[in-house]
Amino acid sequence: MLKYIEMDYKLPDLTCARKRTREDVNRRVFNIEEKLLSIGKDKYYLIKTHGCQANERDSENIAGLLEKIGYTKTLDESKADIVIINTCAIREGAEDKVFGELGALKRYKTLNPNMIIGICGCMAQEERTVKTILDKYKQVNLIFGTHNINDLPRLISNIYEENRKSIEVYSIEGEVIEDIPSVRTSSHKASVNIMYGCNKFCAYCIVPYTRGKERSRLLEDVVKEVEELVNNGYKEVTLLGQNVNAYGKDLDADYDFSDLLEAVAKTNIKRIRFMTSHPWDFNDKMIEVIKNNSNIMPYIHLPLQSGSDNVLKVMNRRYTSQTYKELFDKLKTNLPNFAFTTDIIVAFPGESEEDFNKTLEMVDYCKYDNAFTFIFSPREGTPAYNMENLIPQEEKNRRLSVLNEKVSYYANLNNKKYQDKIVEVLVDGPSKKNPNIYSGYIPEGKLVNFKGKCNVGDIVKVKITEALSFSLNGEQVE
Ligand code: 5AD
Ligand code: SF4
């Protein structure tokens, strides 16, 4: 540890990351020193992004910052002067991929010793991971966390000016910084952060440690961003937060998520989605707003995690299978044609065969349109990391495949309802393999591949000719 402190590194600290105080969140607007504006002139950047939509949105900000200081985008590692890997720490598998990529980048650094190799995102917030990188992946000379993306220009400048590594990660509750430059990856769909962090501390989850405390953006800032997107021709926004239903609770304001949704629905944006809802804070007012605004898409992602009350309790999920069912029934009754998806973890420590069967029963009850299913992955620093009663690997795999079979059965059954129907597709673009085949999403969030002639960002009518479990095929009719 000492040797890193001596080298003027700022390393992550899990104990600090766990802290939650009542102190007000610091809010500020991004600014940049004049002298940093040309440090990337005639240089190229490449960003590799892992993980969720929050990371993808962060990568748009990283791209924005790099372009602000003069860098140009490339997809070619051999041309890149800086490669940044924006990492995910949610499961071990996600981390392994990053270590593989770092290994592969070593070769390019040998060819170009001035290349900066940077690591950011959730892995950069983990104590043990950063130490592993410093000890074993010497090619990395830039590490920054989820809280100081805005500092990237200064951190790069330190490397050039002082010919040293820049390692700066803060384990703090976090701020809200508006107007960080951004280069969006799509010209018709956009993610809009409405809040950052998470206070739920589910026993298995690393996110509250890597992303800090729940803190909302002001309603007027979110609406302004959506209005700008509409003016720039965007058709769809996804409002992002780890737990969007808790939006506004940290603010001294008289609005909540339903008010925000309504305000966004009043803009001229054609499609609104939101991710992710926690069953705990989903209230009736939200259901009313969703029901009454046709530009809020008929799709809800409602993570279940487990159908067993015993497991839910140890997971610290704050609901029971009964209260989840009650919410689900209420949503189904009020929003009859909506699609529902979920997240499920199998083989949580101590999950018995009976507990697992309760999860299967819940899938039978809810008949989800799709479910993202995971084997429990122990994350250092979380309460579940040290839990005993682990399930053997073979049994973990068996549970996952039994669950997946059930999930695809209902996915298929739900998709069959679309056979021969005409649906509206927001076009993402032509397929790379066949320029006559396009793909896009229907309001219910299902992927459609179709024959047609249209442009990216069009909303076109497509007749469904074939329903598969996880996508639909069709032909454009208008
Ligand atoms: N192991 C397995 N799955 C996890 N998730 C979060 N943490 C873990 C973990 N340690 C899953 C949850 C969450 C989704 C984003 O990832 O299901 O909803
Ligand atoms: Fe993780 Fe739970 Fe927060 Fe979701 S609500 S990010 S699963 S701690």
pLDDT for the residue 3: 54
pLDDT for the residue 433: 83
Residue 254 CA to ligand 1 centre (angstroms): 32
Residue with tokens 């995910």: 88
pLDDT for the residue 434: 87
Q: Please answer whether residues 17 and 174 qualify as being in contact, where contact means their C-beta atoms are separated by less than 8 angstroms.
A: no
- Ligand 2 atom 1 nearest Cα: 205
Considering every ligand atom shown, identify the ligand nearest to the alpha carbon of residue 345 and give its number.
1
Residue 321 tokens, joined: 């299978």
For the chain, the straight-line distance linking the first and the last C-alpha, in angstroms and rounded, comes to: 64
**One pLDDT digit (tens) per residue for the chain, 478 residues:** 445 555 689 999 999 999 999 999 999 999 999 999 999 999 999 999 999 999 999 999 999 999 999 999 999 999 999 999 999 999 998 888 999 999 999 999 999 999 999 999 999 999 999 999 999 999 999 999 999 999 999 999 999 998 899 999 999 999 999 999 999 999 999 999 999 999 999 999 999 999 999 999 999 999 999 999 999 999 999 999 999 999 999 999 999 999 999 999 999 999 999 999 999 889 999 999 999 999 999 999 999 999 999 999 999 999 999 999 999 999 999 999 999 999 999 999 999 999 999 999 999 999 999 999 999 999 999 999 999 988 999 999 999 999 999 999 999 999 999 999 999 999 999 988 888 999 999 999 999 999 999 999 999 999 999 999 999 999 999 7
Bond prior to 276 in cis (omega within 30° of 0) = yes
pLDDT for the residue 4: 56
- What span, in angstroms and rounded, lies between the C-alpha atoms of 442 and 445? 5
Residue 210 CA to ligand 1 centre (angstroms): 14
Fill in the DSSP letter of residue 315: H
Residue with tokens 């209005």: 227
Considering every ligand atom shown, identify the ligand nearest to the alpha carbon of residue 94 and give its number.
1
Fill in the DSSP letter of residue 392: P
Q: Please answer whether residues 476 and 461 qualify as being in contact, where contact means their C-beta atoms are separated by less than 8 angstroms.
A: yes
Which among 150, 233, 223 is positioned nearest to 192, based on CA atoms? 223
Fill in the DSSP letter of residue 216: E
Residue 326 CA to ligand 2 centre (angstroms): 21
Ligand 1 within 6 A of CB of 347:
no
| R_g over Cα of the chain | 23
- What span, in angstroms and rounded, lies between the C-alpha atoms of 54 and 125? 15
Residue 368 CA to ligand 2 centre (angstroms): 20
- What span, in angstroms and rounded, lies between the C-alpha atoms of 121 and 275? 19
Residue 62 CA to ligand 1 centre (angstroms): 25
Helices and strands (DSSP H and E) totals, the chain:
14, 21
Residue 75 CA to ligand 2 centre (angstroms): 33
Ligand 1 atom with minimal separation from the 377 CA:
1
Residue 41 CA to ligand 2 centre (angstroms): 40
Residue with tokens 């949580």: 348
Count the Cβ atoms, other than its own, within 10 Å of residue 214. 23
Which residues have CB under 8 Å from 2's CB, separation 6+?
Answer: none
- What span, in angstroms and rounded, lies between the C-alpha atoms of 385 and 206? 10
Provide the whole-model pTM. Answer: 0.96
- What span, in angstroms and rounded, lies between the C-alpha atoms of 98 and 139? 13
Phi, psi dihedral angles at 220 (to 5 degrees): -65, -30
Ligand 1 within 6 A of CB of 243:
no
Ligand 2 within 6 A of CB of 54:
no
Which among 104, 60, 105, 101 is positioned nearest to 82, based on CA atoms? 105
Q: Dump the DSSP string for 147-171.
A: S-GGGHHHHHHHHHHH-S-EEE---
Ligand 1 within 6 A of CB of 282:
no
Residue 187 tokens, joined: 């010209």
pLDDT for the residue 44: 98
Tell me the three-class secondary structure of 31-60, residue by residue: CCCHHHCCCCCCCEEEEEECCCHHHHHHHH
Partners of 216 in the β-ladder: 195
Ligand 2 atom with minimal separation from the 199 CA:
3
Which of 18, 125, 278 most suits a substitution to test ligand 2, by most atoms within 8 Å of the C-beta?
278
Q: Please answer whether residues 166 and 142 qualify as being in contact, where contact means their C-beta atoms are separated by less than 8 angstroms.
A: yes
Residue with tokens 């989605």: 273
